[in-house]
Structure 1
Amino acid sequence: MVQFYYHDNKDTLENFTEPHDSGKPVTQEELAAIGVIYKYITTQQELDALAKEREYKNRDVVNLNLAAFNNDLDAYNAKMQQFYKEHYHDDEEIRYIVDGEGYFDVRNKGDEWIRARLEKNDLLILPAGIYHRFTLTDGLKQVKAVRLFKDEPKWEAINRDSGKESDARLSYAQSIAV
């Protein structure tokens, strides 16, 4: 079952896959106010209809688990830390969870982290330019997700600490300005 809540901001490099639930829930309306859309999709037809509606022409499937890294724990941990580094993309990011579970964290208007705990059949759409990060849950530590793309897959992660602010980031920041 999907959960949205404020992150407790007590994460470290050792425990970022833990729930970090502050006890303060977040509504889907609060997410919508920052451009984040959640849907529960149970069939391929629903997923295909959403892709057509949003003009997504390409897709791929990503498997994140230790086996995907040939059981190389160092490589797996390095990739998880890379995904957890705060970043944005110049394109919308759509993830549909086919199996497993994970956390997407997004920044709200007040620059606070909101955590979305997603599992099978959950779909999250993040607008271009929103700061976010991803990790697997501490329990299952695996996810299989469909990624949707408008054109050819391209996911340059622009890390917040780089200081780079593309047109997509500036446009997004303006769209949620308080």
Structure 2
Amino acid sequence: MVKAYVHDNDASVDFREDHDTGKPVSLERLEKIGLIYRKFDTQQDVDSFALERNYKNRDIVNITVDSFPDEETMMSKLNVFYAEHLHEDEEIRYCLDGEGFFDVRDPFNEEWIRCRVQKGDLLVLPAGVYHRFTLTSDNFIKALRLFKEEPKWLAYNRPEADKNRYRQEYLAQVGL
């Protein structure tokens, strides 16, 4: 099961560290803000889920120190991933190996909720939800990315995205 908890917001500590306040977040709370979590042990289970949700495209991404020419380049890319943003499509990730953190902004109270994904975890972030991503301090994740259509990799950063149509639709879907 995914480990989810309230993030401590301590900017003096590397964002790849746990940042665990000791305040766990339930699956019910994740569902309330529109996230879907599943634990799958087989590719067949993932394929069935993808078919049910009409995901037509996929690829695999490896993010590791070796993916970049040097650590400075890696950290520069992680800083981009870690900026608070939203997408106009769902973000679907199935962790094949390694681990990473998805931080999701709770629209009801503005807390960051940190979800640690590990092998077998599938997480669906709805379009319009503010989030960010980073590796853990192990600096490695291999993930299957699923897409309903062709991938759109436009990130809309906060606060500019507050008026985005997908943001407004997301807020309506969660009852705000």
Per the alignment, do residues 164 and 27 of structure 1 end up closer, same or farther by CA in structure 2, a change over 3 Å counting?
A: closer
1:163 is displaced (CA, Å) by 4.3
Query: Equivalent residue for 2:27?
Result: 28
1:164 is displaced (CA, Å) by 5.3
Query: Equivalent residue for 1:61?
Result: 60
Asked if the contact 1:11/1:20 (under 8 Å) is kept, the reply is no
Give the unaligned 5+ runs of structure 2: none
From 73, 78, 81, give the equivalent of 1:80. Answer: 78
CA-based RMSD: 1.3
SS at match of 2:54: coil
5 Å-filtered alignment, 1:125-136, equals 125-136=124-135
Q: Residue 4 in 1 paired to residue 30 in 2?
A: no
AA at the equivalent of 1:115:
R
Distance (whole Å) between structure 2 residues aligned to residue 73 and residue 165 of structure 1: 36
Query: Equivalent residue for 2:165?
Result: 167
AA at the equivalent of 1:123:
L
Q: Which whole-Å deviations, capped at 9, do the CAs of 1:132-165 have from their partners, x for residues lacking one?
A: 0000111x11100011001111121111133453
5 Å-filtered alignment, 1:12-161, equals 12=12, 15-70=14-69, 72-108=70-106, 109-138=108-137, 140-161=138-159
1:173 is displaced (CA, Å) by 1.4
AA at the equivalent of 1:76:
M
Which stretch has the larger CA shift, 166-175 or 121-130?
A: 166-175
Give the paired residue count. Answer: 175
SS at match of 2:163: coil
Asked if the contact 2:86/2:161 (under 8 Å) is kept, the reply is no
Distance (whole Å) between structure 2 residues aligned to residue 25 and residue 164 of structure 1: 27
Distance (whole Å) between structure 1 residues aligned to residue 102 and residue 50 of structure 2: 20
1:73 is displaced (CA, Å) by 1.4
Distance (whole Å) between structure 1 residues aligned to residue 171 and residue 19 of structure 2: 26
Distance (whole Å) between structure 1 residues aligned to residue 112 and residue 14 of structure 2: 16
Distance (whole Å) between structure 1 residues aligned to residue 94 and residue 161 of structure 2: 30
Asked if the contact 1:158/1:164 (under 8 Å) is kept, the reply is no
Distance (whole Å) between structure 2 residues aligned to residue 54 and residue 43 of structure 1: 17
1:176 is displaced (CA, Å) by 2.2
Q: TM-score, normalised by structure 2?
A: 0.95
Asked if the contact 2:161/2:167 (under 8 Å) is kept, the reply is no
Distance (whole Å) between structure 2 residues aligned to residue 165 and residue 18 of structure 1: 32
Q: TM-score, normalised by structure 1?
A: 0.94
AA at the equivalent of 2:5:
Y
Identity across the alignment (%): 52
